């Protein structure tokens, strides 16, 4: 900076954003340690007046070792890694470019694609090093990228993609643990999901049922458990996505019956008076249908295949089973009518007769 009006001026610099200032001897600053410097400069005269403008310069001092940048589809890995889970995921072919900042003499670039699940950083003398600064990864492949740069002075640096690069164009699979060729009373269904490359994206799993009731779901080790499935015959759909964005949907027709057959005409643990007219009994099951129904009295068992009538005094046991495996049992007693005089004497027994 030239002197103004005969007043001496000096140049000062700061390496800590203006907290401390030092004088530049002979207006020269020498940097020796390889790193990135942020330097402020200002001019100060003998009277302590400072220049109105303070300038900031960013200077990177390198020791001559090349710096490698690996790009996936033109995006630097350092940028992608901020949103990384446990790999770099793609559905289509991945373009790989290797760029080098030489800091002096240029040189040669090499790469290795290693599909070994236990891949390790290769040595400088590894025979797999391939000359070139570009390659590609086609589906379906999971690999580590290693890059090497050697300048004309023989200085070498090796770097990697840090995590696997996955090109996965194959959708995941879904397998249910049962089919519903027949009705069942089991209200739990499991769906095993598999994706060999990308892995299942658990927060993208969806379950839809053609039913008004809700179900309970849980996920463990790529197995989705759906419990408390409602009764009925309806469609259920599971949708899953892998980390590369491939989707799969699987539908299954569910047939669940959790209710035992209904016995019409009598109630369990009831007592009925014998009338001149018989009592009619029928067994129904609206979902899976009746598989078997029997009525037993005094050691004699008879099948119920249609509506029957009962008019004999005694204790009866009806046992039922539906086609889903639900079982039911109804016990009732048929007792004689009381004497006619009791019907007009106002007794409790007479009132019970009237109520029936």
**pLDDT tens per residue across span 173-196:** 999 999 999 999 999 999 999 999
Higher pLDDT, 227 or 81: 227
Residues 45-61, mean pLDDT to the nearest whole number: 75
Residue 37 has a pLDDT of: 83
168 falls in which pLDDT band (50, 70, 90)? very high
340 falls in which pLDDT band (50, 70, 90)? low
pTM for this model (two decimals): 0.70
How far is the C-alpha of 161 from the C-alpha of 140, rounded, in Å? 18
Residues 284-307, mean pLDDT to the nearest whole number: 96
352 falls in which pLDDT band (50, 70, 90)? low
Average pLDDT, the chain: 89
Statement: residue 81 has pLDDT above 80: no
- 192-218 pLDDT, tens digit each: 999 999 999 999 999 999 988 889 999
How far is the C-alpha of 335 from the C-alpha of 316, rounded, in Å? 11
Residue 43 has a pLDDT of: 86
Statement: residue 308 has pLDDT above 60: yes
Residue 344 has a pLDDT of: 43
CA distances to 152, 156, 219, 250 from 125, in Å: 17, 11, 46, 50
Q: What is the DSSP string of 142-188?
A: EEEEEEEEEETT--EEEEE-SS-EEE--SPPEEEES---SS-BS---
- 137-165 pLDDT, tens digit each: 999 999 999 999 999 988 999 999 999 99
Statement: residue 44 has pLDDT above 90: no
Give CA angle at 194 (136, 240), nearest 5°: 90
Higher pLDDT, 258 or 339: 258
Residue 343 has a pLDDT of: 45
How far is the C-alpha of 159 from the C-alpha of 65, rounded, in Å? 12
Statement: residue 35 has pLDDT above 80: no
List the one residue out of 293, 313, 189, 166 whose CA is nearest residue 242. Answer: 166
| DSSP tag of 18 | T
Residues 131-138, mean pLDDT to the nearest whole number: 98
Helix (H, G, I), strand (E, B) or coil at 27: helix
Question: For residue 264, what is the enclosing H or E element?
Answer: strand 262-264
Percent of the chain past pLDDT 90, that is, above it, reads: 67
- 224-277 pLDDT, tens digit each: 999 999 999 999 999 999 999 999 999 999 999 999 999 999 999 999 988 777
Q: What is the DSSP string of 94-135?
A: EEEEEEEE-SSS-EEEEEEEE--TT--PPPTT-TT-EE-SEE
How far is the C-alpha of 9 from the C-alpha of 43, rounded, in Å? 7
Strand partners, 263: 283
Residue 12 has a pLDDT of: 87
Decide if 356 contacts 273 (C-beta within 8 A).
yes
Decide if 279 contacts 265 (C-beta within 8 A).
yes
Statement: residue 322 has pLDDT above 60: yes
- 11-28 pLDDT, tens digit each: 888 888 888 988 888 888
Helix (H, G, I), strand (E, B) or coil at 71: strand
């Amino acid at each position: 900076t030239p002197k103004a009006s005969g007043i001496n001026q000096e140049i000062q610099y700061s390496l800590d954003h203006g907290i401390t200032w030092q004088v530049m001897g002979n207006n020269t600053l020498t940097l020796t340690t390889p790193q990135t410097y942020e330097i402020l400069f200002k001019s100060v005269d003998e009277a302590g007046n400072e220049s109105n403008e303070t300038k900031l310069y960013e200077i990177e001092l390198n020791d001559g070792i090349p710096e490698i940048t690996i790009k996936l589809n033109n995006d630097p890995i350092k940028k992608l890694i901020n949103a990384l889970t446990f790999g770099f995921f793609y559905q289509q072919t991945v373009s790989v470019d290797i760029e080098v900042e030489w800091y002096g003499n240029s040189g040669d670039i090499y790469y290795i694609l290693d599909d070994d699940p236990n891949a390790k950083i290769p040595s400088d003398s590894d025979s797999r090093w391939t000359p070139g600064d570009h390659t590609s990864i086609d589906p379906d492949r999971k690999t580590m990228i290693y890059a090497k740069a050697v300048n004309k002075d023989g200085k070498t640096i090796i770097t990697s993609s840090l995590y696997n690069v996955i090109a996965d164009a194959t959708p995941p699979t879904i397998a249910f643990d049962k089919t519903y060729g027949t009705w069942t009373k089991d209200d739990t269904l499991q769906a095993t999901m598999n994706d060999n490359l990308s892995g299942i994206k658990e927060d993208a799993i969806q379950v839809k049922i053609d039913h008004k009731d809700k179900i309970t779901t849980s996920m463990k080790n790529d197995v989705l458990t759906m419990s408390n499935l409602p009764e009925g015959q309806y469609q259920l759909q599971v949708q899953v996505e892998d980390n590369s964005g491939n989707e799969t949907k699987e539908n299954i027709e569910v047939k669940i019956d959790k209710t035992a057959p209904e016995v019409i005409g009598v109630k369990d643990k009831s007592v009925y008076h014998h009338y001149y007219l018989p009592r009619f009994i029928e067994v129904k099951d609206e979902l899976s249908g009746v598989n078997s129904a029997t009525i037993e009295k005094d050691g004699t068992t008879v099948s119920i295949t249609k509506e029957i009538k009962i008019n004999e005094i005694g204790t009866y046991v009806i046992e039922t089973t539906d086609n889903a495996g639900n079982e039911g049992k109804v016990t009732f007693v048929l007792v004689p009518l009381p004497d006619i005089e009791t019907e007009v004497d106002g007794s409790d027994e007479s009132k019970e007769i009237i109520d029936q």
